[in-house]
Chain A
Amino acid sequence: MIKLENVTKSYPTLNGKKFILEDVTLDIPRKNIGILGRNGAGKSTLLRMLGGIEYPDSGKISSDCSFSWPMGLSGGFIPTMSAKENVKFVCRIYDKYGDEMREIVESVREFCDIGEYFDMPMKTYSSGMRSRVGFGLSLSFDFDYLLIDETLATGDTVFKEKAKEALENKIGECNILLVNHGVQVLKNMCDVGILLHEQKLYYFDDIGDAIKEYNKINRKAA
């Protein structure tokens, strides 16, 4: 359960404040949630706010669940350290030591399947390799919610299949919050939908309805 109470969020631009959310109050049940919205509507910001690394200007977001860091294409790794060292680093941040840490390192090594690169500095990686490590890492921790920001689109075909399968297995243990433009992916992965449009959040009990509404908005814009 995620509770939003009178949440307002804006960010400063050269032409004054641009609002993403204006006085939004909403209860989101604990299900797999898909977030829809046009580019620049603030989907990623919403995800970051739910993950607790960005804060609303006013209002409150509260939840009794734990959230992963937003899995995205960028950030979270120290480029001069190898993937192994980065994984250990994140383990230590989340209080995992000893055998638990070794297990996580091995599972990420196996999952991302980048061979000897795993022990080389991450600045030498391609973006695909980096997202493999990131994906494997966040699947190795137990959160109530996984925050996913368009990560599913990366990687080659083989990895995409593997990632999808791993994620589907993971969904048994946890819920996901997914930001994606791929309608098919949303339909497969999510139960309920949230549409972010013109500073308001619209909640749909069925992801299909959310997608329909989203398409309607898009048609109107076009």
Chain B
Amino acid sequence: MHMVLRGSDSSSNSVYDYAVFLVLSMTSFFLFRDTLGKSAGAFTGNKSLFIYRRVKPVDTIVARMLVEIFIMSIIMSIFIIIGFYLGRDMHAKNLGMVFLGYIWLFVFGFGLGLLVAIGNVFYDFVGKLVGYISMPLLFLSGVFYSIQSVYQVSPDVAQLLLYNPLVHFMEMIHGNYFYDLDDRFVDYEYMAIWTAVTLFSGLWLYIFLEKRIVSS
């Protein structure tokens, strides 16, 4: 296994450790995908619990998010332990920003998930749609490559990819982790707008529709 992972380094031109790169992208992408996917079904899946007056629909999303954070921190710890075991250099350029990237991505996933969960109550294709787009999103979100490397090949494609907010999150995490990469393509304002719009419209819709969600 050691050999295989080392081998993948030499095949690419970059200096950074591609195995660590993949772990970072996969964990962050799955964090997003699972927060979104889990919260999408939170209202419809826990309908039977709403017979207890004290259970508000948003509780079910919060509960699922807590489980998600718990699982993700276990997975992260396992990867870190494996990294130490293999003697990888895992020193991060700016660990604080990497953490912020994860947390920010989680908040973004929660906001979008809340919107999807509300939509799913009234139109059940919304939840299915999320399931369908998560696969292509995996390839379009800069999980397996850095935008820098795409930019060298084709600036137009890189520009196009940057419309996807997830790419910015990936770049933020990668750029702040590796000394050989940077966050020059990251538009923090663009990320903030996406997060704020989804989160606040989700919360506003929720407050507006809570009673209808309970009695649906």
The answer to whether B54 touches A53, judged by C-beta atoms less than 8 angstroms apart, is no
Chain A contacts for B6, CB-based, 8 A: none
The answer to whether B53 touches A54, judged by C-beta atoms less than 8 angstroms apart, is no
Complex CA gap A67/B47 in Å reads: 19
Complex CA gap A52/B142 in Å reads: 47
A76 at the interface (CB under 8 A from B): yes
How would residues 38 to 73 of chain B score, 1 for a CB under 8 Å from any chain A CB and 0 otherwise?
Answer: 000000000111111111000000000000000000
The answer to whether A54 touches B215, judged by C-beta atoms less than 8 angstroms apart, is yes
A67-B53, A69-B53 in contact; A53/B48 too (CB < 8 A)?
Answer: no
Minimum distance in angstroms from B52 CB to a CB of chain A: 5
Complex CA gap A57/B50 in Å reads: 19
Chain A contacts for B214, CB-based, 8 A: 53-55
The answer to whether B51 touches A75, judged by C-beta atoms less than 8 angstroms apart, is yes
The answer to whether B53 touches A76, judged by C-beta atoms less than 8 angstroms apart, is no
| Contact for B52 among A48, A54, A55, A93, CB less than 8 A | A93
- Nearest neighbor of A48 in chain B, beta-carbon distance: B215
The answer to whether A94 touches B54, judged by C-beta atoms less than 8 angstroms apart, is yes
- Nearest neighbor of B48 in chain A, beta-carbon distance: A75
How would residues 40 to 74 of chain A score, 1 for a CB under 8 Å from any chain B CB and 0 otherwise?
Answer: 00000000100111110000000000010110001
B interface residues, tally (CB under 8 Å): 13
The answer to whether B211 touches A69, judged by C-beta atoms less than 8 angstroms apart, is no
Q: How many A-B residue contacts, CB cutoff 8 Å? A: 37
Interface on chain A toward B: helix, strand, loop, or mixed SS?
A: loop
Complex CA gap A93/B47 in Å reads: 15
Q: Scan residues 7-64 of chain A and give those whose CB is less than 8 A from a CB of chain B.
A: 48, 51-55
Complex CA gap A48/B49 in Å reads: 13
Query: What are 24 inter-chain pairs, A to B, with CB distance below 8 A?
Result: A51-B51, A52-B53, A53-B51, A53-B53, A53-B215, A54-B214, A55-B211, A55-B212, A67-B53, A69-B51, A69-B52, A69-B53, A74-B48, A75-B48, A75-B51, A76-B48, A76-B49, A76-B51, A76-B52, A78-B48, A93-B54, A93-B55, A94-B52, A94-B54
5 more A-B residue pairs beyond the given contacts A53-B215, A55-B214, A69-B52, with a C-beta to C-beta distance below 8 A: A53-B50, A53-B53, A75-B51, A93-B55, A94-B54
Interface residues of B (CB under 8 A from A): 47-55, 211-212, 214-215
